[in-house]
Amino acid sequence: MNRFLYLIESSIDMRHQKQFTNDNPNKEVFPLDCVPDDRPNGSWTQGVKAWTKADGGSSDIVVGWFHPPRLRNKGHKNRHIKQISFQEEE
């Protein structure tokens, strides 16, 4: 059981590691302001930030998004059910 939990934790850590522009020169970097700063927590995806390594001992700097956050597809399951019930009433 402990080994299973370790595998889950390590995969989550790998997914959320900082991705640097130097390591991914072929990826497009979108500007930080392409999505609103004040986003509700559950209705947007996380996105992948693009970082630049800072010189010396200072902290790394966020320069943009490799994959900007997007709105989640909420309610896509209900659309099909509504169409079926509407067709049955006709």
- Residue 24 is assigned to a structural domain of this protein: yes
- Other CB atoms closer than 10 Å to residue 50's CB: what's the count? 23
Which residues in the chain show pLDDT less than 50?
1, 5, 7-8
State which residues form the domain around 78: 18-89
- Residue 27 is assigned to a structural domain of this protein: yes
- Residue 61 is assigned to a structural domain of this protein: yes
For residue 27, the model assigns a pLDDT of 92
- Residue 13 is assigned to a structural domain of this protein: no
Give the amino acid at 43: S
Q: Exposed (0-12), middle (13-18) or buried (19+): which is 32, by Cβ within 10 Å? A: middle
- Residue 4 is assigned to a structural domain of this protein: no
For residue 26, the model assigns a pLDDT of 93
pTM: 0.61
Alpha helices in the chain (DSSP H): 2-15, 76-89
For residue 52, the model assigns a pLDDT of 92
The Cα–Cα gap between 35 and 72 comes to: 13
